[in-house]
Amino acid sequence: MFTAHRGRLTLIGAVAVGAVVALAGCASGDPLAEPSSSATDSTIVVGSQAYYSNEIIAEIYSQALEAGGFTVDRQFQIGQREVYLPDIEDGKIDVFPEYTGSLLQALDKAAVGGTSDATYTELQAALPDNLRVLDKAEASDQNSWTVTDAVASKYSLTDIASLTNVTEPITVGGNSELETRPYGPTALKEKYGIKIAGFVPVEDSGGPLTVKALVDGDIQLANIYTADPNIKTNSLVALTDPDGLFFPDNIVPVVSQKVDDSAAAILNKVSAALTADMLVDLNSQSFNDKLSADKIATAWLTQEKLV
Amino acid sequence: MSFFIETLAWLLDPANWIGAGGIPTRLAQHLLFTLVTLIVAAVIAVPIGFVIGHTGRGRGLAVAISGAFRAIPTLGLLTLVALWVGIGLSAPFVALIVLAIPPILAGAYTGFEAIDRKIIDAARAVGMSEAQILLKVELPLGLPLLIGGLRSATLQVVATATLAAYIANFGLGRYLFEGLRIRDYGEMLGGSVLVILLAIVLEGVFALIQKLVVPRGVTEGLPTDIRDGSSRSRPVMETTIEKGNSNVHST
Amino acid sequence: MTWIWSNMDLIWDRTLDHLVLSVPSIILSFVIALPFGWLAHRYRASRAVILTTVGLLYAIPSLPLFIVLPFIVGTSIRSPLNLIIALTLYGVALMVRVVADGLGSVDRDVQQSATGVGFSGWTVFWQVELPLAGPVLLAGLRVVAVSTVSLATVGAVIGAQSLGSLFTDGIQRGIQEEIIAGIVATVLLALVLDAALVLFGRLLMPWTRRSAIGVAARNSAVVAGVTT
The 3-class secondary structure across B43-84, one letter per residue, is HHHHHHHHHHHHHCCCHHHHHHHHHHHHHCCHHHHHHHHHHH
The per-residue pLDDT for A25 is 41
Is the per-residue pLDDT at B232 higher than 70? no
The per-residue pLDDT for A227 is 93
State how far the Cα of C226 lies from the Cα of C223, in Å rounded to an integer.
5
The per-residue pLDDT for C75 is 80
- Per-residue confidence band for A40, with pLDDT thresholds at 50, 70 and 90: low
The per-residue pLDDT for A36 is 45
Chain A residue at shortest CA distance from B179:
A177
Q: Which of A122-136, B160-174, B177-191 has the lowest mean pLDDT?
A: B177-191
Is the per-residue pLDDT at A271 higher than 90? yes
A290 and C175: CB-CB below 8 Å?
yes
Is the per-residue pLDDT at B228 higher than 50? no
Chain C segment 197-216 residues within 8 A of A by beta carbon are: 200, 203-205
Residue B90 counted as domain residue: yes
Residue B212 counted as domain residue: yes
Q: Nearest by CB to B174, which of A176, A204, A212?
A: A176
Q: Is A290 on the interface with C (CB under 8 A)?
A: yes
Q: Is C198 on the interface with B (CB under 8 A)?
A: no
Q: Is A286 on the interface with C (CB under 8 A)?
A: yes
Q: Is B114 on the interface with C (CB under 8 A)?
A: yes
Residue B102 counted as domain residue: yes
The per-residue pLDDT for A238 is 95
Chain A residues touching residue B87 (CB < 8 angstroms)? 173, 200, 202, 209, 212-213, 218-219
Q: A48 vs chain B: nearest CA distance in angstroms?
A: 18
CATH number, position B155: 1.10.3720.10
- Segment B205-229 shows an average pLDDT of 59
Chain A residues touching residue B166 (CB < 8 angstroms)? 201-203
State how far the Cα of A168 lies from the Cα of B80, in Å rounded to an integer.
30
Chain B residues touching residue A230 (CB < 8 angstroms)? none
Residue B250 counted as domain residue: no
Is the per-residue pLDDT at C201 higher than 80? yes
Chains that touch C (3 or more CB pairs under 8 A): A, B
How does strand A95-99 pair with strand A71-75? unpaired
Q: Nearest by CB to C228, which of B80, B151, B199?
A: B151
State how far the Cα of C143 lies from the Cα of C96, in Å rounded to an integer.
12
Q: Which of A245-254, B27-36, B215-224, C177-186 has the lowest mean pLDDT?
A: B215-224
Residue (of A62, A78, A67, A66) closest to A28 by Cα position? A78
State how far the Cα of A117 lies from the Cα of C40, in Å rounded to an integer.
65
Residue B248 counted as domain residue: no
Name the domain count of chain B: 1
- How many Cβ contacts (< 8 angstroms) between chains A and B? 57
- Segment C48-63 shows an average pLDDT of 84
The superfamily CATH assigns to domain C2-222 is: MetI-like (1.10.3720.10)
Q: Nearest by CB to B180, which of A82, A202, A208?
A: A82
Share of chain A above pLDDT 90, in %: 68
- Segment B77-96 shows an average pLDDT of 91
The per-residue pLDDT for B218 is 59
Is the CA virtual torsion C100, C101, C102, C107 positive or negative? positive
Residue B246 counted as domain residue: no
Three-state SS across chain C? Answer: CHHHHHCHHHHHHHHHHHHHHHHHHHHHHHHHHHHHHHHHHHCHHHHHHHHHHHHHHHHCCHHHHHHHHHHHHCCCCCCHHHHHHHHHHHHHHHHHHHHHHHHHCCCHHHHHHHHHCCCCHHHHHHHHHHHHHHHHHHHHHHHHHHHHHHHHHHHHHHCCCCHHHHHHHHHHCCCHHHHHHHHHHHHHHHHHHHHHHHHHHHHHCHHHHHHHHHHHHHHHHHHHHHHC
- Suggest the residue from B2, B59, B75, B81 to mutate for an interface test with chain C (most C CBs closer than 10 A): B75
How does strand A132-133 pair with strand A171-174? unpaired
Q: What would the pLDDT profile of A87-145 be if each residue is shown by its tens digit?
A: 898 888 999 999 999 999 889 888 888 899 999 999 999 999 999 999 999 999 999 99
Share of chain C above pLDDT 70, in %: 90
State how far the Cα of B170 lies from the Cα of B74, in Å rounded to an integer.
17
Is the per-residue pLDDT at C71 higher than 90? no
Q: Which of A2-16, A42-56, A63-77 has the lowest mean pLDDT?
A: A2-16
What's the domain range around B105? 2-12+20-241
State how far the Cα of B88 lies from the Cα of A203, in Å rounded to an integer.
12
Q: Is B79 on the interface with C (CB under 8 A)?
A: yes
Share of chain C above pLDDT 90, in %: 31
The per-residue pLDDT for B63 is 82
A173 and B87: CB-CB below 8 Å?
yes
Q: Is A26 on the interface with C (CB under 8 A)?
A: yes
Chain B residues touching residue C68 (CB < 8 angstroms)? 3, 185, 188-189
State how far the Cα of C183 lies from the Cα of C168, in Å rounded to an integer.
11
The per-residue pLDDT for B229 is 31
- Per-residue confidence band for C213, with pLDDT thresholds at 50, 70 and 90: very low
Is the per-residue pLDDT at A281 higher than 60? yes
Residue of C72 and C14 predicted with greater confidence: C14
Q: Is B45 on the interface with C (CB under 8 A)?
A: no
Chain A residues touching residue C176 (CB < 8 angstroms)? none
The per-residue pLDDT for C210 is 53
The per-residue pLDDT for A166 is 94
Chain A residues touching residue B165 (CB < 8 angstroms)? 176, 201, 203
Chain A segment 69-108 residues within 8 A of C by beta carbon are: 77-79, 82-84, 86-87, 92
Q: What share of chain B is helix, strand, coil (3-state, %, to 5)?
A: 85, 0, 15
C156 and A20: CB-CB below 8 Å?
no
Q: What are phi and psi of A255, to 5 degrees?
A: -130, 155
Judged on CB neighbours under 10 Å (0-12, 13-18, 19+), B36 is: middle
The per-residue pLDDT for B222 is 38
C156 and A50: CB-CB below 8 Å?
yes
C52 and B251: CB-CB below 8 Å?
yes
The per-residue pLDDT for A182 is 82
For residues C98 and C147, the answer to whether their CB atoms sit within 8 Å is: no
Q: What would the pLDDT profile of A221-269 be if each residue is shown by its tens digit?
A: 999 999 999 999 999 999 999 988 899 999 999 999 999 999 999 999 9
Chain A residue at shortest CA distance from B175:
A176
The per-residue pLDDT for B216 is 66
